[in-house]
Amino acid sequence: MPADNAALELVDVEIYDIEQDLCFLVTPNGGQFYISAPTSEFRAWADRCDGTRTRAELLIRMAPEYAEVVDVLQHDGCLRPARAAHDAERAARVARTTVLLTGLPELTAPIAHALSTTGYARVGPAPEDLSGVDVRDTVLVAAFAHPAYTELARIDDLCSGLGLRWLPLRRERGRAVLGPAITPGTTADFADVLHRRLAAAHDPRVVEAMRAAPEAGSPRLGARDARWISAQLGMDLERWITGEAATGEVELDLRELSRLSRTVLPMPTRPRPVERGDAEADLLVDDQVGVVTAVQELAPQPGMPDRLRVCAVDVADMRRVADWPNDRQAFGTSWSEFDTARRSAVGEAVERYCGSRLPQDRLRYGSHARLRRDGVPTLDPRRLHLYSERQYRTAGFPFAPLTTDTECAWVEGRSWTTGEPVWVPAFLVAHGEHDPVAYSDPLVAGVACGVSEEHAVTSGLEEVIERDTTMLWWANAARLPRLAESDRIRELVADSLDAYDITLIPLDNEFDVPVIAAAVLDRATRWLTIGFATRPSVQEAAEKALAEGFTLHHTCHYLDDEKALADGRAELPHLDNLKPHRADRRYLDSYRADFGDVRDLLCQQQIHLDPRAGERVAPWVLDLPTRSWDGLPALAGRHLAAYRERVEARGFEVISVDLTTCDVEAAGLSTAHTIVPGLVSNFPAGMPMWGDGRISRAGVQLGWRTEPLTEEGFNVFPLPHA
C-alpha cells in the first residue's frame, strides 16, 4: 500500500456509463467494478487522479463511499503512485542489479543479448565462486536446454546457502519452463518444484527419468526459439526485480508462442513464512504442481437427479515425498452449479490434506498431570468420549486407556469458549507414531476448511454436532418421524422419484440445532445410503444431506465394480480393509456377525451393497410416520457464535486445533480440527466409542427410551455412510 503522502494516479482504466448514477470500470488487471455514483461526478473525480494529489486530497468533499473506491482500486493496482515516481523507482532497481548467467551457452548468449539494453548494472557470466557476490543486488539466471534437475537442484542448494536470488530455466516435455523466481527462505524453491512434480505426477517414474536425463539426449534448440525464450525471460525478470510481479513457473510453448503460468507453493514439509493469498485465485489446482491435480464432473448414475452436480478431485500423493499419508480423492456436490461443487470438493481435499500429518515440532510429551504441574493448560482426558472400561478389558482390544497419568503427545489448540490456549492429545487430531501405545484413531468429525479460521471452525463445529447427533440416533435405533415431502425437495429430485425412495428424518438433539438424515434407497439394487447435514435451517440441512445421500451411491457403484476396486487398491491403501468383491453382493456373509471386522467407514458401505442390509435397518430408517416441517429448530445464521451459544449453553467447550499448512495459507485458505470434549465422533461399527455413557443417557434424555441401554443393547449394525 502506498504511503499516505504519495500522489496517486489512475492508470489505464476504462470507464463506461451504464445508468445516470452507475458506472462500469475495467482495469488492466482484469478487474471489473460497478461504481454507484453520478457518472459525471465519477469521471471528474477520475480525472483528478492524475498523479498530483494524495489519497486525502482525492477524498476531500467526496461522499464517504469514495474511500472504499480508493481502497479497491489501490488493491487492484490501477490506482498507484504517480507514474513518474513509479518509473523512476523501477529504473533505479534495475540500474543497481547485476545479472549473472550460468548454464548452456546456446541460451545464456541470447539471454545476455536480450538483457544488454535493459539498463542493468552488469550482465555477465557467473564466476565459479559466488561467495563474494553482493546478494542484495544480484540475481543468478541458470538456463538449460534439458530438464537439468540435478544441475538446478545443486544451484538451488548453493543459492539457498548464500541467500542469493535466482531464476531457473529448463526445457522438458517439448516446452521451455521458466521459473519460479526464487528468493531463498521466502518463496518456493527448486526443491519444492521437484517435490510438487513428483507428488502430482500421474506416473512418478516419468519424473524420476527426467531427473536422470542427460543433456546429450536432448534435441538442439534453434536460434529463433532461443531468442523468443530470452525475450520472455527478460520481461519476467524485469517485472520480478522491479517488484511489479513475482514470476511463478511459466511454461513456454515454442510452437504456439504461448504462455501458461503456474504457482508453485512451498512444501509444507519445509515450512516458511508466507503471505496469505486470495482464495479466489484458486492456486491449489494444477495438473503438474498442484495439491489438487485433476477435477472432473461425475455424470449422474441412471435415475439420479439431473440437477445434482457432483465433482471428484484427485489429490497429489504426498507419500512419494514425505511421511504424509493423505487421501487421494475428494468429492463435492451442489444443487445449483458445478463451480460450487468444485469448490466444495477442493475444500474437502484440503481439509484431508492438512489433517493427515502433524509436524513433530508442534508436539510436546508428558502426562496430563505432569504438564498441569508445569503450568501447561491441557485438556483433561476424563472429559473425552472414547472407549468404555468393558472395551478396554476385552482381549485383543487395540487401544489403551488414556488417564491423567499416562503419557502421550499433545498439540496446542485454542478454546473458543474461554479464549485461552489448551493442549489436546495429538492422536485425536492426526495419525502418526506420536505415542508409545495407541489410545485411539483420530476423531473423524470436526476437520474442515474455510476462507478463514473462524469459517473453518464453524464448518467443523457443524460436523461435530451432526456426527454426535447421528451416532446417538443410530446406536439407540430411535424411530423418529420423517418429514413430509416439500415443494422444494420435490423440485430437486422430481426426475429421480421413479428410481429412488427418499426419506428425510429430522434428528432430535439437545442443542436444538437442525440436523437432517437423508436416506436414499435405490429401488433396483436395494442399496441404501444416508447423508447427514447440520445447517442453520431445516431446508438447508435437508438439501445438503440429500446431496450427500445421492453422492454416496457413486461410491456404491465404485465398490460394486470389481476392476475399479482392484485398480484402486494399489493407490488407496485403506481399501485393503474391504472384503473381497462378491458378484452376488451378499457381503453380510463376508463380515463377522458382530461386525468386529468393520474397521473402516468404507466397509459400512460395502455391507450395504447387500440388499439384506437395508431390510435390517428399515424399521427406524424407512418405514416411518410423517410429520410436518412446522416447529423444527432454526438458527439466526451460519455463524460460529450461533452454534457456540447452543453448545456452550449445555456445558460443553469448543476447542480447535489449527492445521493450516504454509501452502494452504498461501492459497488463502484455513483448516482446523474442531473438538467438543464429551461429544461422540462417528466411528466404524467394529470400533464403537461407547465412552462415558453419553449414548445411553441421551436415549432417555431425548425421550427415545424409558431406560438407558447397556452396551450389549446398543445397535451395532453398520451405518450406510462413509
* Residue 573 banded pLDDT, cuts 50, 70, 90: low
Reported as a single tens digit per residue, the pLDDT across 595-636 is 999 999 999 999 999 999 999 999 999 989 999 999 999 999
Phi, psi of 79 (to 5 degrees): -110, 105
Q: Which three cell numbers stand for residue 234?
A: 527478460
Question: Which residues lie across from 534 on neighbouring strands?
Answer: 515
Closest CA to 677 of 423, 490, 473, 451: 423
Please say if the pLDDT value at position 419 is more than 90: yes
- 656/424 Cα distance (integer angstroms): 9
Per-residue pLDDT, 217: 66
- In order of 463, 552, 642, the CA distances from 506 in angstroms are 15, 19, 19
**Cβ(377)–Cβ(431) below 8 Å:** no
Closest CA to 143 of 208, 69, 55, 232: 232
Q: Which helix (H) or strand (E) holds 75?
A: helix 65-76
- 721/712 Cα distance (integer angstroms): 23
Burial class of residue 637 (count of CB atoms within 10 Å of its CB; 0-12, 13-18, 19+): exposed
**Cβ(37)–Cβ(109) below 8 Å:** no
Reported as a single tens digit per residue, the pLDDT across 337-373 is 999 999 999 999 999 999 998 999 999 999 999 999 9
**Cβ(199)–Cβ(286) below 8 Å:** no
- 212/233 Cα distance (integer angstroms): 25
Mean pLDDT of all residues belonging to the chain = 94
* Residue 541 banded pLDDT, cuts 50, 70, 90: very high
For the chain, report the end-to-end CA distance as a whole number of angstroms.
47
Per-residue pLDDT, 516: 98
* Residue 219 banded pLDDT, cuts 50, 70, 90: confident
Phi, psi of 160 (to 5 degrees): -65, -45
**Cβ(97)–Cβ(241) below 8 Å:** yes
Task: Write down the pTM of the prediction.
Answer: 0.89
- 623/429 Cα distance (integer angstroms): 38
Residues contacting residue 228 through CB under 8 Å, at least 6 positions apart: 252, 254, 257
Q: Which amino acid is it at 82? A: A
Rg (CA), the chain: 30
Q: DSSP label at 420?
A: S
Per-residue pLDDT, 618: 97
Average of per-residue pLDDT across 638-660: 97
> Which of 44-53, 75-84, 138-147, 391-400 has the weakest average pLDDT?
75-84
Strands in 79-81's sheet, in edge-to-edge order, are 50-53, 8-10, 79-81
Per-residue pLDDT, 75: 87
Please say if the pLDDT value at position 81 is more than 90: no
Reported as a single tens digit per residue, the pLDDT across 289-337 is 999 999 999 998 899 999 999 999 999 999 999 989 899 999 999 999 9
Per-residue pLDDT, 212: 83
Per-residue pLDDT, 266: 95
Q: At what angle do helices 223-241 and 105-115 cross, to 10 degrees?
A: 50
* Residue 523 banded pLDDT, cuts 50, 70, 90: very high
Beta strand 500-506 with 447-450 is: unpaired
Please say if the pLDDT value at position 2 is more than 60: no
User: CB 368: neighbour CB atoms within 10 A?
Assistant: 23
